[in-house]
Amino acid sequence: MFGSWGNYGLAPPEDLTSKERSPPPSPVRLDFPRSVPQPQTTPLTKSSLRNLRRILLNLKSHEDVKREHLEALNVKVTTDHSFEDLIPVSTQNLIPRNGEGPPSARPQLSNGMPCPGPEKYDIVERELRYSNDDAFRELVRLPPLPGKQRLRITQTRKFWAGLEKMSQYWDTSADQLYEGPVHPEDSVQNGNVADLEGPADAKRIKMDDNRTPSESDPMNIDQKSDELSNKESSQSPSQDQEIRLRYKGRRIGNGRTMPEELREETVRGFVEMIAWCFGCQVTMPSMPPRLSVGTLLFPVRHTFTVTRTPRDRMQARKGFLEGPIFVIQCKNEVSFRNEDDRVGDGHAEATDLFREVGAVLLLAQERARQNQVEILPGSGKWWTTKARWGGGPGGEMEVPPEGVTDEPPTSVTNPAATPPSSENKSKPPPLSPVTEKTSVADSIVAKAERRIARASGKSSSSSGSRRLSLAERWKILKPGSSLWDKKMQYLQIGKVKGDDFDDIYLLSSINTHISLLHVRIHPEYLNWLSINENDSSSHSQPITNSPNASILHIQRTKWYNLFDIDERIQAMNGIWALMAWMMRGGETGEVWPEGKRDPQTANDGKQKSSEEKHGSQQQRNTIPVMASVRTGTATETKS
Please state the three-class secondary structure of 186-212 as a single string: HHHHCCCHHHCCCHHHHHHHHHHHCCC
pLDDT averaged over every residue in the chain: 77
Q: Which residue did the predictor score with more confidence, 230 or 580?
A: 580
Among 81-90, 118-127, 197-206, name the one with the lowest average pLDDT.
197-206
Q: Which residue did the predictor score with more confidence, 510 or 67?
A: 510
Q: Which residue did the predictor score with more confidence, 537 or 118?
A: 118
CA 589 to each of CA 492, 494, 554, 583: distance values in angstroms, whole numbers, following the listed order: 7, 7, 22, 12
Q: Would you call the peptide bond into 324 cis, given omega within 30 degrees of 0 as the criterion? A: yes
Amino acid at 525: Y
Most confident of 346-350, 517-521, 628-632: 517-521
Q: What is the mean pLDDT of residues 371-391?
A: 82
Most confident of 405-409, 453-457, 568-572: 568-572
Residue 106 is given by DSSP the state S
Q: Which residue did the predictor score with more confidence, 588 or 281?
A: 281
Q: What is the mean pLDDT of residues 180-184?
A: 72
Per-residue confidence band for 384, with pLDDT thresholds at 50, 70 and 90: confident
* Whole-angstrom Cα Rg for the chain: 35
Q: Which residue did the predictor score with more confidence, 223 or 251?
A: 251
What percent of the chain is modeled with pLDDT above 70?
65
Helix, strand, coil % in the chain, rounded to nearest 5: 35, 15, 50
Q: Which residues contact 532 (CB under 8 A, 6 or more apart)?
A: 294, 295, 639
Question: Is the sign of the CA dihedral 414, 416, 421, 426 positive or negative?
Answer: positive
What pLDDT is stored for residue 4 in this prediction?
43
Contact 628, 351 (CB under 8 A): no
What pLDDT is stored for residue 221 in this prediction?
40
Per-residue confidence band for 94, with pLDDT thresholds at 50, 70 and 90: very high
Q: Which residue did the predictor score with more confidence, 197 or 293?
A: 293
What pLDDT is stored for residue 467 in this prediction?
83
pLDDT in tens, 542-596: 666 677 888 999 999 999 999 999 999 999 999 999 999 999 987 555 543 333 3
Looking at the predicted structure, is the pLDDT value of residue 223 above 50? no
Looking at the predicted structure, is the pLDDT value of residue 72 above 70? yes
CA 198 – CA 279 distance, rounded (Å) = 49
Looking at the predicted structure, is the pLDDT value of residue 214 above 60? no
Among 200-204, 225-229, 340-344, name the one with the lowest average pLDDT.
200-204
Q: Which residue did the predictor score with more confidence, 213 or 320?
A: 320
pLDDT in tens, 5-35: 444 344 555 678 888 889 999 999 999 999 8
**Closest CA relative to residue 505, chosen from 525, 488, 519, 493:** 519
**Closest CA relative to residue 71, chosen from 51, 46, 94:** 51
CA 82 to each of CA 40, 94, 272: distance values in angstroms, whole numbers, following the listed order: 26, 15, 22
Residue 185 is given by DSSP the state H
CA 248 – CA 534 distance, rounded (Å) = 66
Q: What is the mean pLDDT of residues 259-278?
A: 97
What pLDDT is stored for residue 615 in this prediction?
37
What pLDDT is stored for residue 61 in this prediction?
83
Among 115-119, 238-242, 512-516, name the one with the lowest average pLDDT.
238-242
Per-residue confidence band for 3, with pLDDT thresholds at 50, 70 and 90: very low
Q: Which residue did the predictor score with more confidence, 246 or 414?
A: 246
Q: Which residue did the predictor score with more confidence, 318 or 419?
A: 318
Looking at the predicted structure, is the pLDDT value of residue 359 above 90? yes
Looking at the predicted structure, is the pLDDT value of residue 316 above 50? yes
Q: Is 313 helix (H, G, I), strand (E, B) or coil?
A: helix
Amino acid at 34: R
What pLDDT is stored for residue 396 in this prediction?
62
What pLDDT is stored for residue 295 in this prediction?
83
Looking at the predicted structure, is the pLDDT value of residue 100 above 90? no
Per-residue confidence band for 48, with pLDDT thresholds at 50, 70 and 90: confident
Buried/exposed 581-614: b ≥16 CB within 10 Å, e otherwise: bbbbeeebbbeeeeeeeebbbbbeeeeeebbeeb
Most confident of 6-20, 368-382, 501-515: 501-515
Amino acid at 483: L
Among 22-26, 311-315, 426-430, 613-617, name the one with the lowest average pLDDT.
613-617
Looking at the predicted structure, is the pLDDT value of residue 622 above 50? no
